[in-house]
Amino acid sequence: SPASAVKLNKQQTDIAVNWAGGLHHAKKSEASGFCYVNDIVLAILELLKYHQRVLYIDIDIHHGDGVEEAFYTTDRVMTVSFHKYGEYFPGTGDLRDIGAGKGKYYAVNYPLRDGIDDESYEAIFKPVISKVMETFQPSAVVLQCGSDSLSGDRLGCFNLTIKGHAKCVEFVKSFNLPMLMLGGGGYTIRNVARCWTYETAVALDTEIPNELPYNDYFEYFGPDFKLHISPSNMTNQNTNEYLEKIK
């Protein structure tokens, strides 16, 4: 991820991708939540050498606590995390956590409930990110694309499809800022592969077919052997009233 940031700084690319990165729970002196080095923080520190303001957006189902903590008291990095909140790892990311000192109002948290679907997610993501772009005016953006927010994830409890998840990537990309796209969580492995394949295509403005090409791992993608997944029939506990209230 720091190497990706260097590429962006040198204007050798407009979008850099590291699907092996996005380890947002690691702290300066402790490993946490399957993360032992916070590559995101290291990459943002690299970006700050050339960029006055860097925006960090996190769509993993878990709160991006390690990144928020690292930049909690600075106004040069705004962190925005959309995550499941309430009896859920890592237990941080309350709506009222907004930063401190110079960094007050530069941490934004969207605590969500189980079962959020594409429509509800888009209804909060777009207006929030638009407002953030308008007020913060970053010159670079880091997007953590954890895919445990997808429907059917072994540890997750959201109900997003790959297209719904990728809408976020598409929207952030539309601002035409130097962008670092990172991986993160994702525990139904076949869907992680599907998601990041599709999001790579989105980053490249390329359309790819829903039929998966034959490969050594083809049987992992049965029974349908398709790129896209369907949402489940789980209840969306995020009512419109609730989403409006936190927006």
Q: Would you name the residues annotated as active-site residues?
A: 25
Q: Are 161 and 195 in contact (CB under 8 A)?
A: no
Cα-Cα-Cα-Cα dihedral sign, residues 54, 57, 60, 61: positive
CA angle 67, 137, 54 (to 5 degrees): 25
**CB neighbours of residue 44 within 10 Å:** 26
- Prior bond to 213 cis, omega within 30? no
Nearest to 110 by CA among 59, 183, 144, 150: 59
Rounded Cα distance, 235 and 129, in Å: 26
